[in-house]
A and B are shown apart, each in its own frame.
Chain A
Amino acid sequence: MMCFNRWKTVIAACAVLPFLASPVLAAGGKSLGADSGVVPATLQDVPGSDLKQVTLTARAVERIALLTEKVEMKMGRKVVPYSSIIYDPNGGVWVYSMLKDRVFLRSAIDVDDIVGDDVFLNAGPSVGTRVATDGVAEIYGAEYGM
């Protein structure tokens, strides 16, 4: 009889095992779509506007080949390089001003004329502010959560 009881428990235990284990099903192996956990840019809301401050990691800056130049004065008007400007879908024109190392904020500009590589502004960031001139599309994409 002891033998019988032991057998019964063993069989019953074996029977329960798969049922407990079925929630643990996995197809086996990591799907290629899994997250890698790398975050190259972080966003911060700017109170009082729709803008978001974009902070890039050092590695991200290398990867987007970031370059910056200063806002200058030419012929009495503010000037930024042509490669620094970006249009939003509604026609607004912006540059990305560098607040501090690897931190950027989109700033509105009012374009008067574009001659060659110079964009003459009616209004824009103050002279001496650094603006991104390469990697601008990437910072824009990061801000829009791509």
Chain B
Amino acid sequence: MRWILAWSIQLRLLVLAAAAVLMVFGLSQLRSMPVDILPEFSRPYVEVQTEALGLSANEVEAMLTVPLEADLLNGVPWLNEIRSESIPGLSSIVLFFEPNVDMMQARQVVQERLLAAHALPNVSTPPAMLQPVSSVNRVLAIGLTSDTTSLIDMSVLARWTIVPRLSGVPGVAQVSIFGQRKRQLQVQVDPEHLRDEGVTLQQIINTAGNALWSSPLTYLDASTPGTGGWIETPQQRLTIQHLLPISTPQDLGKVIVEGTTKPLSQVANVVEDHQPLIGDAIIDGGPALMLVVEKFPWANTQDVTQATEAAVESLQLGLTGISMDTSYFRPATYLDMAVANLASVLLIGTALMIGVLFLAALNWRTALISAVAVVVSVLAAVTVLSVLGITINAMIIAGLAAGLVVLIDDAVGDVQNTARRVRAASGDDALATAKTIFSAALEMRRPLLYATVIVAMGAAPLLLLDGLGGAFAQPVLYSYGLALVVSMLVAMTVTPALGVLLLGDAEAAGSESPLMQTLAGVHDGIYSAVTGLSGTAVAGVVTLAGVLVVAGFSGLQKSHDVLLPTFRERDVVISVDAPPGTSETVMQGVSERMGAELRGLPGVRSVSAHVGRAVMSDTTKDIYGGEVWVNVSRAADYDATVDAVRAVASGYAGYDIDVDTFLGERLLDETGPGDMVVVRVYGENMDTLRSKAEEVRAVMARVEGIEAPEVNYPDLRPNLEIEPNLANSQVHGLTPGQVRRQAATLLGGIAVGSLFEERKVFDVVVWGVPEVRHSVSSVENLLLDTPAGGHVRLKEVARAQIKPQPPVIRRNAVARHLDVEAEVAGRHIADISAELSERIRQGIDFPLEHRAEVLGAHAAAAAAMENVRAVAIAAALGVLLLLQAASGSWSLAFFLLLSLPVALLGGIATGLIAGGIGSLGSLLGFLAVLALTARSALVLISSYRDLEKDSGASPSPELVQRGTRERFGAILTTAIVAIAVFVPVALFGNVAGFEILHSMAAVVIGGVISSVIVSLWVVPALYLAYAGSAESLDVIEEEEAA
């Protein structure tokens, strides 16, 4: 330390030049630094999706999910949990990995396994691994509407032109198309008409498939298209290409049905249409397309948004008639607002800081040095973050803001001390002044070093938090630590260098401002009254207050939801869930009507909706679930608008409605259930699962501490099951497979080939006319071909019955499960879990392939909190030891430790007035005030001891008063500057970007005041009472003095 100080003074011009460069660099970085709202908070995962349009949930599970899970994906290394959902048409398997696993390695291992997936039945597209996406994945939603272009044509443009272009934008992970209507040539058959024409379904399939260049049906000739070959003349090689004359339905209709002389158009309807929809987008009262753009975890929202919008603009030029609107969902707008607010407050705060510094000291030199020190520290921190490539987010800003108090204290305290010493030395010799400045800086450093270590120790337990709390606590604490370190370095280099340059003599150092002198007079008056109190009385009151404050804090709910603020984003999402099995028509209708009503609300800028899902998208909802996205305008009254939105949405009867912000929804996905204990019963047979779950529920009801256990039965949807009757089918010469394939073709459609046109690929599909898919009756009356050439109705060879089925089949750990959930009260969750496991093991018998498990997530979280508490106690002891080393007395150290929480009283008061003290911002504010108090206390004690050493006397009221008086100016100035800097933040209120900062500001403003009271009156009183017995075992100090 001496070395750094000495060289900084020696090379002061170099140091200042470096500081200037740093300032310029930092300022330039400030404009262009990547900014985002939150750091990444989800655990590493990989999602594998397999599409199988038209396949029911049960069959998706049996044919796709189970083989993938069991054979391929279970046993992947570093796997923590494997979960899957099977819904009609989609199998989604999510693999969660252990924390800190390298995502790329995990993806590679999964990809290797997927290569073996050719063994799956030919009902689906191959399994695909979704791109890695950020926790806050959606960046933009682009609505495509047109008065002139059909939805099918727009889908073609989207699929083949727009999405490939957007996917190439740096940072874009995937773009999904909601409402995509794939252009298909459909050969729609009416079995009755086929019978009249004497044609069978198989003839139609063969004809349509073989007419084309390629077919996926392996039994058709068209599955082997053959190549073109070439003609080799003696001089030239002419390559041969075959052109397909079929591109429109009319063309296909002219093809003659094999075995007859009739064209296809005579026996079937050949039309251009689209596939059955798994989802749709509704904009401005009608169906439309919506492109949802998602970003990679390492990408930056604002950059990706701007680049994507630029791409959209360039595309728009070529796509006349189609309007592409990027304003329906744009989180970057919130970021812009937040950054603008922060920039304003930064400017105002800096101006106020300089003004207050000057007014407090009435000496432009000291004001300048302090201001420069603060600004250089902040910019140095920014530079470090920029060089490390770290994206600034709300957590980092919060940490830096908390560190600002320390930055100010360092800057002001050092300069005031230096000025005072120079004044006292009153010499003109430059060298002597330099030495004075050197020793002034040095005498501040040691107590402050102690203080820094104390604060670091105090904050350390929070680093042990895991899960969501940990993901957020770490950036905060690291940036706070960065601020502390930077502040220390600047105080050791820039401040002394500037001091030597500007405070060259006593005249330059000026004298204390009249303001300070008046206030000091006031302080002296009260001080004598306070020191009149008996030391033990003060100590007693301090103990009581300190214990109460600590007790009050440990009563705080330390749950994640309380801790995290609600970000005032402009994008509100209403999830609208209908009873399982509800139709697309109903969902479209409610989206249109709700959208129209919401659009009429003042403050609502735009409304868009999507129902169901899209291929390779971030939702796995079936068609009966939808989301309505409301964009709140920047100028609107945020709270009133959101309340109005919620009131409107809740008025829609029959739907499960939930209103949240986009970030809130994503955070909810990560946090688990609240204080609940969950027993998961695994097994494959639903009836056995049900009865075992009931048994578990009965056992849970008998365990003390568990309240109202309930089995979480999945909702059921009606499912039409078609089961061929072996005997009856045999009578007609049909096998069950033949019944299935004919019914599947007529009801679900079968892709018979592909059309290649202008480098795009379209499907040719054989399907039944809409009338045969109209109702249960039409299905029962479906006319099937028999091998003998006759016909039979479906109901004669099969039974069509409606049976219940879970709409989503969820599997975990490669098994179906039912959860039995209960709330916990009055007892430790770890004890409850242990007793419950024991009772289940002894009291319930499980058949083969069935078992139950008490979910450990809560026990793990509780254990983590235990760890944090234990380390917190250890940290408190460490702080006590440090205080003892710094002050030389055990009792003094003990009471000092207790007085630290007392300094928070002011912060508690102002925090409560501002709305509460349980949030992350308030806790950070308390941390900042604690740091400030610790620093002031240690500096005061150090100065008392220096005075004692100098005068050779033992602690006395006069000495202590002198010591306090010396520090008075610095302590008070720091307080006033800190308040001045945070007042604008508090006045801005809870606006975009200030969700954490405004509660921090409230706490800091009040806390700084009570911290000053503690420093100026309580600490001296305690010192007088308890330091008398101090044995100065200070070896280091002796050496320095020598």
Q: Which residues of B contact A72 (CB under 8 A)?
A: none
Check A142–B654 contact: CB distance below 8 A: yes
Interface centre among B532, B548, B553, B593 (most CB of A within 10 A): B548
What's the minimum C-beta distance from A19 to chain B, rounded to whole angstroms?
4
A75 at the interface (CB under 8 A from B): no
C-alpha gap A40/B904 in the complex (Å) = 48
Which of A90, A138, A141 makes the CB contact (< 8 A) with B804?
A: A90
Check B916–A15 contact: CB distance below 8 A: no
Q: Which residues of A contact B775 (CB under 8 A)?
A: 82, 114
* In the complex, chain A residues 89-146 whose Cβ is within 8 Å of any chain B Cβ: 89-91, 111, 113-116, 135, 137-142, 144, 146
Q: Which residues of B contact A49 (CB under 8 A)?
A: none
User: In chain B, what residue has the closest Cβ to A35?
Assistant: B650
Which of A32, A116, A140, A146 makes the CB contact (< 8 A) with B661?
A: A32
Check B651–A60 contact: CB distance below 8 A: yes
C-alpha gap A18/B718 in the complex (Å) = 57
Check A18–B651 contact: CB distance below 8 A: no
Check A41–B541 contact: CB distance below 8 A: no
Check A29–B653 contact: CB distance below 8 A: no
Known: A28-B914, A36-B650. A21 touches B593 (CB 8 A): no
Check B912–A24 contact: CB distance below 8 A: yes
Known: A18-B905, A32-B660, A137-B583. A27 touches B650 (CB 8 A): no
A25 at the interface (CB under 8 A from B): yes
Check B548–A59 contact: CB distance below 8 A: no
What's the minimum C-beta distance from B716 to chain A, rounded to whole angstroms?
4
What's the minimum C-beta distance from A106 to chain B, rounded to whole angstroms?
13
Known: A27-B918, A32-B642, A141-B653. A89 touches B717 (CB 8 A): yes
B774 at the interface (CB under 8 A from A): yes
Check A41–B654 contact: CB distance below 8 A: yes
Q: Which residues of A contact B530 (CB under 8 A)?
A: 7
Check A14–B905 contact: CB distance below 8 A: yes
Interface centre among B557, B572, B581, B654 (most CB of A within 10 A): B654
Check B552–A114 contact: CB distance below 8 A: no
User: In chain B, what residue has the closest Cβ to A141?
Assistant: B654
Which of A7, A26, A90 makes the CB contact (< 8 A) with B916?
A: A26
User: In chain B, what residue has the closest Cβ to A61?
Assistant: B653
Q: Which residues of B contact A46 (CB under 8 A)?
A: none
Check B654–A137 contact: CB distance below 8 A: yes
Known: A16-B548, A89-B805. A25 touches B556 (CB 8 A): yes
User: In chain A, what residue has the closest Cβ to B906?
Assistant: A14
C-alpha gap A12/B999 in the complex (Å) = 26
C-alpha gap A116/B775 in the complex (Å) = 9
Q: Which residues of A contact B790 (CB under 8 A)?
A: none
Check A28–B578 contact: CB distance below 8 A: no
C-alpha gap A28/B921 in the complex (Å) = 11
What's the minimum C-beta distance from B38 to chain A, rounded to whole angstroms?
16
B244 at the interface (CB under 8 A from A): no
* In the complex, chain A residues 1-60 whose Cβ is within 8 Å of any chain B Cβ: 3-4, 7-8, 11-12, 14-19, 21-34, 36-38, 40-41, 56-57, 59-60
* In the complex, chain B residues 578-630 whose Cβ is within 8 Å of any chain A Cβ: 578-579, 581-583, 586, 589-590, 593-594, 597
Check A137–B562 contact: CB distance below 8 A: no
User: In chain A, what residue has the closest Cβ to B530?
Assistant: A7
Q: How many residues of A contact B (CB 8 A)?
A: 58
* In the complex, chain B residues 665-720 whose Cβ is within 8 Å of any chain A Cβ: 716-719
Check B650–A7 contact: CB distance below 8 A: no
C-alpha gap A1/B310 in the complex (Å) = 76
Q: Which residues of A contact B532 (CB under 8 A)?
A: 3-4
Q: Which residues of B contact A73 (CB under 8 A)?
A: none
Check B565–A40 contact: CB distance below 8 A: no
Check A27–B562 contact: CB distance below 8 A: yes
B909 at the interface (CB under 8 A from A): yes
User: In chain A, what residue has the closest Cβ to B656?
Assistant: A146
C-alpha gap A60/B649 in the complex (Å) = 11
Check A7–B533 contact: CB distance below 8 A: yes
Known: A114-B775, A137-B583, A138-B654. A8 touches B537 (CB 8 A): yes
Check B918–A142 contact: CB distance below 8 A: no
Check B658–A19 contact: CB distance below 8 A: no
C-alpha gap A109/B615 in the complex (Å) = 38
Q: Which residues of A contact B651 (CB under 8 A)?
A: 38, 40, 57, 59-60, 63
B544 at the interface (CB under 8 A from A): yes
Check A63–B597 contact: CB distance below 8 A: yes
Interface centre among B551, B586, B915 (most CB of A within 10 A): B586
Check A19–B551 contact: CB distance below 8 A: yes
Q: Which residues of B contact A60 (CB under 8 A)?
A: 651-653
Check A63–B544 contact: CB distance below 8 A: no
Q: Which residues of A contact B557 (CB under 8 A)?
A: 25
What's the minimum C-beta distance from A10 to chain B, rounded to whole angstroms?
10
Q: Which residues of A contact B719 (CB under 8 A)?
A: 89
What's the minimum C-beta distance from A132 to chain B, rounded to whole angstroms?
11
User: In chain A, what residue has the closest Cβ to B716?
Assistant: A89
B1040 at the interface (CB under 8 A from A): no
Check A36–B647 contact: CB distance below 8 A: yes
Known: A87-B718, A141-B578. A22 touches B653 (CB 8 A): no
Residue interface bits B902-920, CB-to-A below 8 A is 1, else 0: 1011001100101111110
What's the minimum C-beta distance from B558 to chain A, rounded to whole angstroms?
11
Check A138–B718 contact: CB distance below 8 A: no
What's the minimum C-beta distance from B888 to chain A, rounded to whole angstroms?
26
C-alpha gap A122/B902 in the complex (Å) = 81
Q: Which residues of B contact A115 (CB under 8 A)?
A: 777
User: In chain A, what residue has the closest Cβ to B562?
Assistant: A27
Check A8–B541 contact: CB distance below 8 A: yes
B867 at the interface (CB under 8 A from A): no
Check B545–A15 contact: CB distance below 8 A: yes
Known: A141-B578, A144-B579. A38 touches B778 (CB 8 A): no
Check B653–A63 contact: CB distance below 8 A: yes
C-alpha gap A135/B655 in the complex (Å) = 11
Check A4–B653 contact: CB distance below 8 A: no
Q: Which residues of B contact A3 (CB under 8 A)?
A: 529, 532
C-alpha gap A28/B775 in the complex (Å) = 54
Check A91–B593 contact: CB distance below 8 A: no
What's the minimum C-beta distance from B573 to chain A, rounded to whole angstroms?
10
User: In chain A, what residue has the closest Cβ to B554?
Assistant: A22
Check A137–B804 contact: CB distance below 8 A: no
What's the minimum C-beta distance from A113 to chain B, rounded to whole angstroms?
5
Known: A19-B551, A21-B908, A22-B553. A137 touches B578 (CB 8 A): yes
B577 at the interface (CB under 8 A from A): yes
Q: Which residues of A contact B914 (CB under 8 A)?
A: 28
Q: Which residues of B contact A90 (CB under 8 A)?
A: 718, 802-804
Q: Which residues of B contact A64 (CB under 8 A)?
A: 590, 652-654
Q: Which residues of B contact A22 (CB under 8 A)?
A: 552-553, 555-556
Known: A18-B552, A29-B566. A41 touches B777 (CB 8 A): no
Check A12–B655 contact: CB distance below 8 A: no
B262 at the interface (CB under 8 A from A): no
Chain B positions within 8 Å of A, measured between CB atoms, are 529-530, 532-533, 537, 541, 544-545, 548-549, 551-553, 555-557, 561-563, 565-566, 572, 577-579, 581-583, 586, 589-590, 593-594, 597, 639, 642-643, 646-647, 649-656, 658-661, 664, 716-719, 774-778, 801-805, 902, 904-905, 908-909, 912, 914-919, 990, 999
22 A-B interface contacts by CB (under 8 A): A4-B537, A18-B548, A19-B549, A25-B917, A27-B563, A28-B914, A28-B915, A32-B661, A33-B664, A36-B646, A63-B652, A64-B590, A64-B652, A82-B775, A91-B803, A111-B776, A113-B777, A116-B774, A137-B586, A141-B653, A142-B653, A142-B654
Chain A positions within 8 Å of B, measured between CB atoms, are 3-4, 7-8, 11-12, 14-19, 21-34, 36-38, 40-41, 56-57, 59-60, 63-65, 82, 87-91, 111, 113-116, 135, 137-142, 144, 146
A-B pairs with the 10 shortest C-beta distances?
A141-B654, A138-B654, A15-B545, A28-B915, A91-B802, A89-B804, A22-B552, A89-B716, A40-B653, A114-B777
